Amino acid sequence: MNEVIWNDVECGGYEADLPIWERLASEHEGPIMELGCGTGRVVRHLAKATERLVVGLDSNPELVATVWERSHGHAGDAEIGDVRGFEMYFEFQLVLAPMQLIQLLEGRTDRVCCLSCVADHLLPGGLAAFALVEELPPVPLGGAAPQLPDVGQVDGWVYSSLPLEPEVGSDSIVLRRLRQIVTPEGDLSEELNEVELQMVSAETLEEEGLEMGLRPAGRRQIPSTDAHVGSTVVLLEKEA
C-alpha cells in the first residue's frame, strides 16, 4: 500500500507533461500504451480525454491493481510486466514513456531490450515518445529556493516527501527525497529514498532506436516547474 501512496504523493500532482501526451494522442489515432504507468496518472488522464483504449504497463502488481480500481469504466487499463521484455495481446499506435522511465534502466542492454519490445508492439507508422533529463540546470547565484515537500493524507496518516539536492555523477544522477510519515497519534518516522537515473542523451537514444527499427521523428520539450526540471521528449517512429 505504501508504494501506491508514495506514487500518488510524489507523482500524482505532476501535470506539466500532460499537454504533450494529449497532443501526440490527437496526432496518432488508435490504442495507446504507457510504460511505467504507476497508479495511472497518464493512463487515466488520456483515457478520459481521448475516450480511446489506453493500457499501462508496470512491474508492481499493487500499482497495476490501483489503475484497475480507479478507471471506473473508462478505457484505462493496466498490465503487469517488465518494460525490458513484455508481450501484449495487440499493437499500439502510440507508446509513451513519461518521467524518465528509460533512464531508470541500468544501461544500453536494458534500453535496447525495451526499444525492441516497443518496436514489436507498434503498428506501422506508430510513434514512441521517451521523456529524458539530459542535464540539470545550473544552481542560480545565491543558491536555489528551498523546495517544498509533496504532501498527502490517507486515513489520518500524513505522508510528506521532501526533494533534496541531487547527487550528479559522470554517468548518472541520483534523485534523493526525505520521506516522512506522521501517524494519527503524532508519531514520526522517516527514511531516505534514492532513485538513480542513467545519463542518456537524446542522440544516443535515437541511435539505439534506429538499431531496433525506430527512426528519429523529432523532439518536443516539457517545461520546467517550481518542483520539476524540464525534459526532452525523444520521438521514434516505426516505418509504415
Q: Are 165 and 176 in contact (CB under 8 A)?
A: yes
Task: Assign 133 to helix, strand or coil.
Answer: coil
Q: Which of 136, 120, 118, 138 is nearest to 128 (CA)?
A: 118
Distance (Å, whole) CA 193 – CA 177: 5
Q: Are 125 and 215 in contact (CB under 8 A)?
A: no
Pairing of strands 76-80, 188-198: unpaired
Per 3-state DSSP, the chain is made up of helix, strand and coil in percentages (nearest 5) of 30, 35, 35
Q: Which fold has domain 2-135+199-238?
A: Rossmann fold (3.40.50)
Distance (Å, whole) CA 40 – CA 117: 21
- In which residue are the cell numbers 541531487 written? 166
pLDDT one digit per residue (tens) for the chain, 240 residues: 589 999 999 999 999 999 999 999 999 989 999 999 999 999 999 999 998 899 999 999 999 999 999 887 666 789 999 999 999 888 999 999 999 999 999 999 999 999 999 999 999 999 999 999 987 766 544 555 667 899 999 999 999 999 998 898 889 999 999 999 999 999 999 999 999 999 999 999 999 999 999 999 999 999 988 778 889 999 999 988
DSSP 31: -
Cβ neighbors of 124 (< 8 A, separation 6 or more) are: 238, 239, 240
DSSP per-residue string spanning 46-73: HHHHH-S-EEEEES-HHHHHHHHHHHTT
- In which residue are the cell numbers 505522508 written? 159
Cβ neighbors of 223 (< 8 A, separation 6 or more) are: 16, 230
As a CATH number, domain 150-196 is 2.20.25
Q: What is the pLDDT of residue 226?
A: 76
Q: What is the pLDDT of residue 108?
A: 95
Strand partners, 172: 198
Task: Give domain limits for the chain.
Answer: 2-135+199-238, 150-196
Pairing of strands 32-35, 92-97: parallel
Q: What is the pLDDT of residue 139?
A: 54
CA 164 to the chain's CA centroid: 20
